[in-house]
Structure 1
Amino acid sequence: MLTPRFSVDQNDEFVFVNIKLSSIRFSARNVEIVIDDNLFIFSLPPYYLRLRFPGLLLEDERVKSSFVPKEESIKIQIPKKTTGEHFDDLDLTAKLLARLNEPTAGVVPGNGAESKRPLIEEVDEGQSVPSMKDLQKEAENFNWEVEQKPAAELSAEELAGHPKYGFNNVYSDMINATLANGNDINELANPDELKPDDRITQRLIQENLKFDPEYYASDYLIAKYEPENCRIKDILGWQSPYKRLFDKYQSKLAAKPGIGHVPIEFDQAEKDHMADLPRKSYLVDDPRPIYYTIVCLLFAYCYEIRSNEGDSTVESGWSIGKLTPQLSCLDSQLLQSTNFTEKSMLRVVVLTMERRALSYPLVRNYELVKDCWNDVYYVLRCGKRGVLKAILAAREFFRFHDVYYIYCKILLDDLCSWILRDDGCNERILRNLAHALRKEAESVGKKDVVFEKIMTEDSDEMEPVSIDEIEQLAEESYRASQSTV
């Protein structure tokens, strides 16, 4: 059976379902419509549609349906049980398609047959959709401190050389096969065999090797003393559309109690992309690494979009992938399990992304880095819909790429699906995260962003050097060059 394209609208009294029926001969006697509480089923072979609404419906004489031949669609009117009740997120059609008894992604198979396990079926429907009180309690108990706990014991599969990575650490044995096809986002040697701490070690080494003090110093001096010879002024002056949206609705959000969101609209292409997402629930023991992944992806996306003043290029997928450690280094842990000095994971996230942003992109500017953190703040303040819209846009750079598509399979598809779910991404946690992240990003300065480099020609020893020190050396060099002119 085929799932037709459809859209849903509402007023105070009715829900309106518009179903597209392409290239079939319509026969009214073959149409079957079932309405049961919040469940709506439409069947007209070869089409079948099953929707679950956030509120209750009624099946009475007010139910109407009509076929519109010119539009090749059938329009169905369904009364609400409670007149005046507003059904949230009816434009997120993929969310309506999700069923309570979806398979749960406890373990996701890789390439090998050994990694396949049966999916878990949820049997307790009453707990599938959390209450608002549960969501608020979850947000209130959330913190971003580094959790002090013993290193997790490796499973038999991981001990055998199949470490997990990707969304919720459920994937394995999927990256090595892409290396021969030119996966230039990957930065790991033997990525499918490396354990989490080893991935972090390789990531830090690669960042130190990739960072070029002369490149950064040159960009710094040009931006400061010859801004007419670079684009940095225009890049810094560009304003994120998410900031404009948030500023526009800020007064409305402040006056509205409870969890609110900026009314972000999704176009038809975005709705189609959401409809193609995997429909399953997720057993997530600790959602914090997923939120850190969201922050890293948003920063990488904002950096790329701001660098191109709202546009994208053929290199956008590479840039976003390189900047995001969960993609390029399969690193969702970010901090070594033996590191007991760091107290805040958000500080670790900020330092990680700033190091990468000053090592890989074409434009490497510290003021640009800070502006991007501001952009991330406004995306997070736009709530689930803002985050979903941004990550869907980032996902498009990977979805049809011959090699990069693998990152959709191991992370981006599941991440978008999890954000979409009621029991996934939490609006209050996003608001908490936005404020905590902004505070942490403001507390990190140039002296905190440190690389290990060989700084003198007559030495082969690595020594720590901060962005602040590099700028001071650049200033001294510039003044010396000017004094000789």
Structure 2
Amino acid sequence: MLTPRFELDQDDDFVYIKVHIANIRFSAAAIEMVVNDNVFVFSLPPYYLRLRFPKSLVENEDAHSEFVPKEECIKIRVPKLNKGEFFPDLDLSAKLLARMNEPSIDDKQKKVSMIEEMDVSNDNIESVKNIEQEGQDFDWEISQQLPPIMTDLQKSVKYGFNNEFSDYLTPSLSNGNDINELSDPDHLQPDDRIMERLIKENIKFDMEYYANDYINMKYLVDTEMGDDGIQNAIKFISPFTKIFNESKSKNNVEIEFTQQEKDQMNDLPRKTFLIDDPRPLYYTILCILFAYSYERRSFNGDLNTESAWTIGKLTPQISCVDSQLIQSNNETEKNVIKIIVLTMARRALGFPLYRHYDLIIKSWLDVYWILRCGKRGVLKALLEVRELFRKHDVYYVYCKILFDNLCSWVLRDGCNDNVLRNLSHALKKEVENLSKKDIVFEKIIRDETVETDEGTEKDETFEFLNLEDIEELADEAYQQSL
């Protein structure tokens, strides 16, 4: 359970409690508030708050609570038992969080000084009774701690749209956010996020899984043993390809929005965005569109209840809140479009149902056609992705930190058609130059226990493998099995 941030105030008649519950979706029925003499308890998973006041409270018809959306908090008013009574130390939050009969520091020091040696050789029936009584009297109340004050190195980092958000993801982790891949997303620095992402990609890639899909498509798809799922996915034609090819004007593609999409646009934030460098936003759009295209193509144009998870996992700006993509000390590679193509290829070979190189290429070509449809095409695709996340009880947090503002930015002319057209051509060039040798994973080839002078140690041999190497091994294994 998480202890929420809270603020206290009072007047002659009431104590006012302001509980901050940012970044979670909840229903009023999930909230529990209890007043018992001087103890106030607030519960709203994953938050739990118990305050022990110096004076008594009372729960009656004057008690009141309300949710204030703009402040993302619940304001609570609790009557004092004795009106006009002053409650001291309301500014000492740690004191109010103490458990019942929790000893002070002085009490703890006194207990330490009273420890004495006892003859353990004698059975002491009385001491056993005391232990039993201690067990019965044990204080089972949850221990609470306010979030620690962070040093400069520990302070929350920024992420999401234009790096404007922080402290949003930890509450969602308590609710089961399995899209997130970072150990501590609210405090990892950008370079550390990249490093952790790369490590996870290497671990997640399964050579046997990829080899199985490769052999199925090359040797088995037209046999009784084959599965035509990947074949059908590769044959799928994106609706955006059709829209562009059927459009009368290639520079002003006609895109029609449904009434549902128009309603979604009306719900987007209405604000002006001050963007110093829009390039990371375009990079984010590229990654989201690839994940979206890969998922749609995998299921012949259909999306399902797991699509939000797959799209979120594939997109580094979502699963790893990594909008930087290249470590700041990397001086060897500055072609971000190439990095994006390789990154998304690596992730597409680790997470989705189908993991095939040709499916990656086809999905990137789908992105090309979406970009050629201009910002209206991009907006149409982003709205569909946003709706997947918006409807989810946990993943909706990514609407808060990314999709809401990103869709609004595209809608309100932040996204430029000329830039999208240039981006599409740059993307297509990188995809055409991509080869299987470029997609590399670092894998443990041998993991053995060896004897040394100092005892036994694990001998791990790492090797860099590209897709071409893996396919050659798969071909050899298949031929040997015949």
CA contact (8 A) 1:110 1:172 kept: no
Determine the structure 2 residue equivalent to 1:309. 300
What are the Cα deviations for residues 311-369 of structure 1, in whole angstroms up to 9, with x where unaligned?
11111000000000000000000000010100311001101100000011110000000
**2:201 aligns with one of 201, 207, 217:** 207
Determine the structure 1 residue equivalent to 2:367. 376
CA contact (8 A) 1:398 1:407 kept: yes
**1:433 aligns with one of 410, 418, 423:** 423
CA contact (8 A) 2:244 2:369 kept: yes
**1:447 aligns with one of 409, 426, 437:** 437
Structure showing greater radius of gyration is 2
* Equivalent runs, 1:336-415 vs 2, <5 Å: 336-415=327-406
In the alignment, the residues of structure 2 paired with residue 361 and residue 342 of structure 1 have an alpha-carbon distance, to the nearest angstrom, of 27
In the alignment, the residues of structure 1 paired with residue 365 and residue 72 of structure 2 have an alpha-carbon distance, to the nearest angstrom, of 37
| TM-score, normalization by structure 1 | 0.65
- Label 1:110 to 1:226 Cα distance change in 2 as closer, same or farther (>3 A): farther
- Tell me the CA shift for residue 456 of structure 1: 3.5
> Any stretches of 5+ residues in structure 1 without a counterpart?
1-107, 112-155, 255-259
Determine the structure 1 residue equivalent to 2:163. 169
In the alignment, the residues of structure 2 paired with residue 283 and residue 365 of structure 1 have an alpha-carbon distance, to the nearest angstrom, of 40
- Tell me the CA shift for residue 157 of structure 1: 9.2
Query: For residue 416 of structure 2, what is the amino acid of its counterpart?
Result: N
- Label 1:159 to 1:110 Cα distance change in 2 as closer, same or farther (>3 A): farther
Determine the structure 2 residue equivalent to 1:290. 281
Aligned-residue sequence identity (percent) comes to: 57
Is 2:463 aligned against 1:463? Answer: yes
Determine the structure 2 residue equivalent to 1:236. 234
Is 2:412 aligned against 1:421? Answer: yes
In the alignment, the residues of structure 1 paired with residue 477 and residue 358 of structure 2 have an alpha-carbon distance, to the nearest angstrom, of 21
Query: For residue 196 of structure 2, what is the amino acid of its counterpart?
Result: Q
* Equivalent runs, 1:91-110 vs 2, <5 Å: none
> Any stretches of 5+ residues in structure 2 without a counterpart?
1-69, 74-149, 449-458
In the alignment, the residues of structure 2 paired with residue 265 and residue 385 of structure 1 have an alpha-carbon distance, to the nearest angstrom, of 9
* Partner SS state of residue 438, structure 2: coil
- Label 1:466 to 1:290 Cα distance change in 2 as closer, same or farther (>3 A): same
Query: For residue 463 of structure 1, what is the amino acid of its counterpart?
Result: E
* Equivalent runs, 1:320-339 vs 2, <5 Å: 320-339=311-330
Query: For residue 339 of structure 2, what is the amino acid of its counterpart?
Result: V
In the alignment, the residues of structure 2 paired with residue 456 and residue 468 of structure 1 have an alpha-carbon distance, to the nearest angstrom, of 20
- Label 1:326 to 1:457 Cα distance change in 2 as closer, same or farther (>3 A): same
* Equivalent runs, 1:85-234 vs 2, <5 Å: 159-228=153-222, 229-230=226-227, 231-234=229-232
What are the Cα deviations for residues 90-136 of structure 1, in whole angstroms up to 9, with x where unaligned?
xxxxxxxxxxxxxxxxxx9999xxxxxxxxxxxxxxxxxxxxxxxxx
* Equivalent runs, 1:268-287 vs 2, <5 Å: 268-287=259-278
- Tell me the CA shift for residue 245 of structure 1: 0.8
Aligned length: 323
Deviating above 6 A after TM superposition, structure 1's stretches of 4 or more consecutive aligned residues are 108-111
In the alignment, the residues of structure 2 paired with residue 467 and residue 413 of structure 1 have an alpha-carbon distance, to the nearest angstrom, of 37
- Label 1:109 to 1:429 Cα distance change in 2 as closer, same or farther (>3 A): farther
- Label 1:481 to 1:160 Cα distance change in 2 as closer, same or farther (>3 A): closer
Is 2:244 aligned against 1:253? Answer: no
What are the Cα deviations for residues 248-271 of structure 1, in whole angstroms up to 9, with x where unaligned?
12xx325xxxxx321100000000
Query: For residue 443 of structure 1, what is the amino acid of its counterpart?
Result: N
In the alignment, the residues of structure 2 paired with residue 226 and residue 307 of structure 1 have an alpha-carbon distance, to the nearest angstrom, of 19
What are the Cα deviations for residues 270-295 of structure 1, in whole angstroms up to 9, with x where unaligned?
00000000011111111000000000
* Equivalent runs, 1:70-89 vs 2, <5 Å: none
In the alignment, the residues of structure 2 paired with residue 443 and residue 284 of structure 1 have an alpha-carbon distance, to the nearest angstrom, of 32
Query: For residue 169 of structure 1, what is the amino acid of its counterpart?
Result: N
In the alignment, the residues of structure 2 paired with residue 431 and residue 462 of structure 1 have an alpha-carbon distance, to the nearest angstrom, of 41
Moved more, 225-234 or 329-338: 225-234
Cα root mean square deviation, aligned? 1.7
Query: For residue 332 of structure 1, what is the amino acid of its counterpart?
Result: S
- Tell me the CA shift for residue 225 of structure 1: 0.6
Query: For residue 227 of structure 1, what is the amino acid of its counterpart?
Result: V
- Label 1:425 to 1:110 Cα distance change in 2 as closer, same or farther (>3 A): farther
CA contact (8 A) 1:158 1:164 kept: no
- Label 1:157 to 1:281 Cα distance change in 2 as closer, same or farther (>3 A): farther
* Partner SS state of residue 441, structure 2: strand
In the alignment, the residues of structure 2 paired with residue 336 and residue 347 of structure 1 have an alpha-carbon distance, to the nearest angstrom, of 14
- Label 1:476 to 1:412 Cα distance change in 2 as closer, same or farther (>3 A): same
In the alignment, the residues of structure 2 paired with residue 450 and residue 278 of structure 1 have an alpha-carbon distance, to the nearest angstrom, of 41
What are the Cα deviations for residues 184-233 of structure 1, in whole angstroms up to 9, with x where unaligned?
00000111010100000100010001000011011100111111421111
* Equivalent runs, 1:34-73 vs 2, <5 Å: none
CA contact (8 A) 2:154 2:187 kept: no
In the alignment, the residues of structure 1 paired with residue 160 and residue 443 of structure 2 have an alpha-carbon distance, to the nearest angstrom, of 31
Determine the structure 2 residue equivalent to 1:59. none
* Partner SS state of residue 460, structure 1: strand
